[in-house]
Amino acid sequence: MSTPTTTISPDADLITLVNVFTVAPERQTELADALDRATRDVFLAVPGFVSANLHVSLDGRRVVNYAQWAGEELYKEALQRTDVRGHITEVAAIAEAFDPTLVRVRSVHHPHGQQA
């Protein structure tokens, strides 16, 4: 059985939410745990959700969520759900600030001249 992976390719018909949270260093783990919990308990069942990847900064000040969606409309529909809105309220109370941005992959670069 293969393990699902995030597809980062300009050819993938996906949109990506890049959300950078700023947080007090002593609350970074709390925020990352809340995002992990919401992904497991809420987003895995939301139509259009593809994957989420959480990154924590080494200085403790940021958490970055890189989440893929099947389309912008499905993402916007998800934001109207009560369970999703509850999650947003929870993480907003932990974070000092956040900056959600919808993007598309433009290019991917690898060593040895490989480019997608």
* Domain ranges across the chain: 24-105
Distances (CA, A) of 52 to 32, 111, 112: 12, 25, 28
Whole-structure pTM value:
0.88
Higher pLDDT, 65 or 12: 65
Instruction: Count Cα neighbours of 47 within 13 Å in the Cβ-side half-sphere.
Output: 6
By residue count, the chain amounts to 116
Q: What digits encode the pLDDT tens for the residues 27-77? A: 999 999 999 999 999 999 999 999 999 999 999 999 999 999 999 999 999
Looking at domain 24-105, its CATH class is alpha beta
